[in-house]
Structure 1
Amino acid sequence: MDQVAVITGGARGIGLACAQHLSQSGSKVALWDTDAAALAQAKDVLPQAETVVVDMADWVSVDAATQVTQNALGPITQAVNSAGIAGPNMVIEDYSLQDWTDIIQINLTGSFYLLRALLPGMKVQGFGRIVLIASVAGKEGNPNASAYSASKAGVIGLTKSAGKECADMDIAVNCVTPAAAKTRIFDQMSQEHIDYMLSKIPRGRFLLVEEAAEMIGWLCSPANSFTTGAVFDLSGGRATY
């Protein structure tokens, strides 16, 4: 079976690293992102990739991107949902209602939209591999990051539900819980919060995007033929469960 992979947030960071890994493994790759300029730059790295401007917070946009991708590359068999935002760092009582809504909509509802768009086709073809990017914050909760932590905890719960729904098919839905990696998401965080995250990582350094891509690449492969609805840790020893 030809492998066709969708990577959301695919123009940069963990998403682009995953796209490179899957492309090297033989998959045809579609990069979905909100940033058209960044997608154009990503084409310099992966000239063979299909690029689609997508707003993961908008169901119509996600549904349309699915059709565009399938028309260009064929049935989608693999997906990595790396699109997400961190939001501001502040205590709950100061958190703006709009920031809360935006973070939940992109990180959690966007993950639901991706599953809703791709699972019907995967069920028809009898194969699929989906990896949602959660966070160690979804396991432990980071202070001054309530919306982000809550959204990523929701992604973990969504993963477990979707994995169980598809468990009697050759469709795997798993998630990973990375510690912080030095990507553009750092631009949304205070230096104090970045220092806090680093202090919690027993490895004493941030995650490399290539390390994330190695684990995610296996989860997307046919070799991952049994595990589904699971949470794979990428926290450098911070979370041991």
Structure 2
Amino acid sequence: MNDYRDTLDEYVGTAPRTAIDIDDLVHRGRRAERGRRIAAASGGLVLSAVAALSAVSLLGAVAPGPGLPVAASAAVSTPSTRAETPDERAQRLLEVLQAAIAREAPGVTGLETLRRQMHVCSPGATPPARLVPYDAATFDAACPADSALHRLRLENFDWLGQLTVGGVTTAVRIHVGAVPAEDPSGEPELMPELGRKLPGGGAGVPGAPAVAVMAGDLVVQVVKPDGTLFFVGHPEKRTLPWTELWQAVGVDPALHL
């Protein structure tokens, strides 16, 4: 049995019940994203205006300064194309998750308890892998080089924490990763049950036209057209509160690999 499938099967299980207005969730996520962009742009304009007015009021008319050398101007205006490292990606995703949860659940506490995890493999054991706190020094050797969890470790991220919303406290496991469409070891699919249970049969495969959302008592799972997989559940498979909150977090446009 594939290590990666074994690890995620417990959270997929029986197809959960769903009664979700996906369009509404997507629109809410897009509105939130637009709001953040407008706020950021507006903030930059306001700061620029304040700086300019301050300079004029303190110094009078501002004399034009020396122009930047051509090479320097090009360096300033050219955006960086350096690829994101896995650690940078993990940090970005955590910040997006924390911001989305705070937006959807004002007053939430415990966001600082979300700690990155990694899989440590125990071949032949049941389960074959367990989550432990992330350790950069042992990360690459935590699973055998020929295992699926080793090959996929750079595009799958997990966090454990304890959150409180409205007086209710629960432990959560949050996963953001790539939908595994093909098994590197040669099996046709890592998660065939995902294709069977998502609306339309194959909506979870990268390139599908819509966001697929599943929600039940134990897990909320979102699969996006770009192949980003989000799911959240209780580490001990207990009932998961705040289902609507997690759906809104999962469809946030900023949450992507």
TM interval, shorter chain, is under 0.3
TM-score by length of 2: 0.26
State the TM-score, normalized to the length of structure 1: 0.28
Q: Max radius of gyration: which structure?
A: 2
